[in-house]
């Protein structure tokens, strides 16, 4: 998600203890979903939609974060782009991610 934000012009700033760079400190990356959610909220405000019902996200586009606690032992969430009906990247359905928690969508125009 950080790569996409950086390439779109919504560059991730250096955030001590939360970002890293493999590109000579010219592009910063957030690897933890908790830190990504904090960054999105600080930059764009609270999520436009928070729901455990996949139908609430239909027809809206933006950045979505799924709470995956209880789904995987090594991750608390997943952030990706949402095209109005599908997440972009990967094969899992929205209901897979929402089965144990909520999704949060920052709507883009």
Q: What share of the chain has pLDDT > 70, as a percent?
A: 84
User: In which band, very low, low, confident or very high, does the pLDDT at 25 lie, cut at 50, 70 and 90?
Assistant: confident
User: In which band, very low, low, confident or very high, does the pLDDT at 95 lie, cut at 50, 70 and 90?
Assistant: low
At 98 the pLDDT is 63
At 62 the pLDDT is 95
Q: What is the pTM of this model?
A: 0.84
What does the DSSP assignment read for 30-92? Answer: E--HHHHHHHHHHHH-S-SEEES-GGGGTT--EEEEEE-BTTBSS-SEEEEEE-SSSEESSS-
Question: Which domains does the chain carry?
Answer: 32-107 (3.90.1720.70)
Q: Is 98 helix (H, G, I), strand (E, B) or coil?
A: helix
Burial code of 7-31, b = ≥16 C-beta within 10 A, e = fewer?
Answer: eeeeebeeeeebbeeeeeeebbbbe
* pLDDT one-digit tens code per residue, 43-72: 999 999 999 888 899 999 999 998 877 666
């Amino acid at each position: 998600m950080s790569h996409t934000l950086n390439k779109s012009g919504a560059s991730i700033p250096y955030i001590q203890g939360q970002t890293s760079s493999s590109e000579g400190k010219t592009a910063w990356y957030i690897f933890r979903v908790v830190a990504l959610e904090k960054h999105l909220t600080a930059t764009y405000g609270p999520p436009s939609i928070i729901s455990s019902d996949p139908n609430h996200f239909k027809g809206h586009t933006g950045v979505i974060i799924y709470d995956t606690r209880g789904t995987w032992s090594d991750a608390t969430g997943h952030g990706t782009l949402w095209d109005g009906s599908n997440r972009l990247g990967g094969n899992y359905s929205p209901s897979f991610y929402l089965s144990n928690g909520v999704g949060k969508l920052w709507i883009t125009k």
